[in-house]
Amino acid sequence: MPDRSTPITIVGAGALGQALARSIHSVGRPVHAIVSRSLERGGALAEEVDSRRVEEPLEPAGEAVILCVPDDHIASVVERLKLQPGSILAHCAGSRGLDVLEHQQQDQIHLGSMHPVMVLAQSGRGADALEGATAAIDGDEISRAWLEQLAEDIGMRSVMIPPECRGMYHLSAALVGGLMTGLLAAAADLWEIIGLDRSTAASALGPMVQEAGRNLEALGVLGVVMGPAARGDTGTIRRHLEELGTHAPQLLPLYRELVLLSVPYALEQGLLDEQAAMALRSVVEAASD
Give pLDDT tens digits along the chain (289 positions).
789 999 999 999 999 999 999 999 999 999 999 999 888 999 999 999 999 999 876 565 568 999 999 999 999 999 888 888 889 999 999 999 999 998 766 668 999 999 999 988 766 567 888 999 999 999 999 999 999 999 999 999 999 998 889 999 999 999 998 899 999 999 999 999 999 999 999 999 999 999 999 999 999 998 899 999 999 999 999 999 999 999 999 999 999 999 999 999 999 999 999 999 999 999 999 987 6
pTM attached to this predicted model: 0.86
**Residue 177 contacts by C-beta under 8 Å, 6 or more apart in sequence?**
117, 118, 119
* Closest of 100, 68, 105 to residue 83, by C-alpha: 105
21 and 144 both lie in a single domain: yes
If asked whether residues 147 and 194 sit together in one domain, one would say no
- Residues 174, 153, single domain; the answer is no
Is there a single domain that holds both residue 127 and residue 232?
no
Residues 129 and 171 in one domain: no
What number of CA atoms fall less than 13 Å from residue 128's CA on the CB side? 1
Domain boundary among 123, 138, 161: 161
CATH number, domain of 57, equals: 3.40.50.720
Question: Quick one: which of 115, 67, 107 has its CA closest to 87?
Answer: 107
- Domain coverage including residue 82: 8-161
Residues 153 and 173 placed together within one structural domain of the fold = no
Domain final residue, candidates 111, 145, 161: 161
Could you tell me if 157 and 194 lie in one domain? no
- Count of domains forming the chain: 2
